[in-house]
């Protein structure tokens, strides 16, 4: 069972990953910009009100629609989506349903989707040590 502390620890262990100052979100630099790879999901509870952050659900970038579909099919108790994310390469993850090992894999893959090639090479070099 994973939680936001696990997300923070894992995400910030990745090269050049940073946490946003104003919300629970993690980014990595690419071409001079910060690119988000994971963030707290904001749920729409009332159509006339602002979305509300859910600390138990994490939005995670994926490589493409195929990877998104595969995750969604693999375990609907863990992974889901909503209309707001239609056509967008991210999946929603219920943190209490995933273990730390699986979360590490999800965050590392999400980071790889957003990181520059040289940072990915750096991560691979670290893992060979």
Q: What is the pLDDT of residues 13-22, one digit of tens each?
A: 999 999 999 9
Q: What is the pLDDT of residues 50-63, one digit of tens each?
A: 888 899 999 999 99
pLDDT category, 129, cuts 50, 70, 90? low
Q: What is the DSSP letter of 46?
A: S
The backbone torsions φ and ψ at residue 2, rounded to the nearest 5 degrees and listed phi first, read: -100, 160
Q: Whole-model pTM?
A: 0.90
pLDDT of residue 111: 96
Is the model's pLDDT at 122 over the cut of 90? Answer: no
Query: What's the CATH code, domain 4-128?
Result: 3.90.1150.30
Long-range contacts of 25-34 (CB under 8 A, 24+ apart): 26/107, 27/114, 28/111, 28/114, 28/115, 28/119, 29/116, 29/119, 30/114, 30/115, 30/116, 30/119, 31/116
CA distance 119 to 41: 26
pLDDT cut 90: percent of the chain above it:
79
């Amino acid at each position: 069972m994973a939680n936001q502390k696990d997300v923070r620890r894992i995400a910030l262990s990745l090269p050049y990953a940073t946490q946003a100052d104003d919300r629970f979100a993690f980014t990595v630099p690419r071409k001079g910009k910060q690119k988000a790879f994971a963030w707290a999901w904001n749920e729409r509870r009332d159509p006339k009100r602002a979305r509300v952050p859910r600390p138990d659900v994490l939005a995670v970038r994926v490589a493409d629609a195929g990877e998104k579909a595969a995750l969604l099919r693999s375990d609907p108790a863990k992974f889901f989506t909503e209309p707001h994310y239609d056509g967008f390469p991210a999946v929603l993850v219920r943190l209490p349903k995933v273990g730390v090992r699986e979360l590490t894999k999800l965050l590392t893959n999400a980071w790889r989707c957003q990181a520059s090639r040289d940072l990915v090479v750096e991560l691979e070099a670290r893992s060979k040590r």
